[in-house]
Amino acid sequence: MNRNKFLKTSGIGLSLLFIPSLMQGRSESLKNHYENNGKSKIIKDSEGGVLNVIGDVQTRKLAGSDTGNQIVEWVDNVEPGVGIPSHIHTKEDEIFRVIKGQVEIMVDGKTTVLNEGDIAYAPKNISHSWKVVGTEKAKMMTSAFPAGIEHMFSELAKLPDGPPDFKKVSEICGKHGIRFV
């Protein structure tokens, strides 16, 4: 049997007639999804909400409410020696972009020093940590997707000044799918 005859006599030929209409429905669904995800926004370097998250001074640039919960971005402005111990996210991936200074980062057991312009990607379910090294303050743009982690940061920023209560920090982080290793 030749190809044309096979397509005509099998259900495949008929099903091909329906694919455009099925795809149109899928396209409409995707179009509506993305059209309803936030509005355009321009954020200057000096703009954004500032939080001190246990020594990690963050300037939130985009929150989930701005992006249809697709992504959240913030700038970390951190003193030498400050960092986040090894932990695992179960809900979001992260991207770290060093803008100024040096950040030692560990992802999946591999440690390296990121300099200005360097990027690291830490997918969910993979352990990672970071710490500012050298003598100057570091500035790092961090993105997490999907959004949601910003709610955890808001909770952590409300903790009292002074050395953090690691049990309380772990409890807050755990509620948001993050555990320390």
User: What span, in angstroms and rounded, lies between the C-alpha atoms of 168 and 151?
Assistant: 15
Type of residue numbered 110? K
* pTM of the predicted model over 0.85: no
pLDDT in tens, the chain (181 residues): 554 554 455 454 444 444 454 445 545 544 544 454 568 999 999 999 999 998 899 999 999 999 999 999 999 999 999 999 999 999 999 999 999 999 999 999 999 999 999 999 999 999 999 999 989 999 999 999 999 999 999 999 999 988 889 999 999 999 999 999 9
How would DSSP label each residue in 83-107? EEEEEEESS-EEEEEEEESEEEEEE
pLDDT of residue 116: 97
Whether residue 27 sits in one domain with residue 55: no
Flag whether 105 is in a domain: yes
Burial of 68 (0-12, 13-18, 19+ CB in 10 A): middle
Range of the domain at 22: 3-35
Flag whether 40 is in a domain: no
Question: For residue 156, what is the domain's CATH number?
Answer: 2.60.120.10
Flag whether 175 is in a domain: yes
Whether residue 110 sits in one domain with residue 25: no
User: What span, in angstroms and rounded, lies between the C-alpha atoms of 178 and 91?
Assistant: 8
Flag whether 43 is in a domain: no
Burial of 15 (0-12, 13-18, 19+ CB in 10 A): exposed
Whether residue 75 sits in one domain with residue 136: yes
Both tokens of 26, joined, read 């899928």
pLDDT of residue 161: 85
Flag whether 44 is in a domain: no
Whether residue 144 sits in one domain with residue 82: yes
Written in H, E and C, the secondary structure of 4-32 is HHHHHHCHHHHHHHHHHHHHHHHHHHHHH
Flag whether 145 is in a domain: yes
Secondary structure class of 63 (helix, strand, coil): coil
Q: Give me the number of domains the chain comprises.
A: 2
Whether residue 59 sits in one domain with residue 22: no
Flag whether 41 is in a domain: no
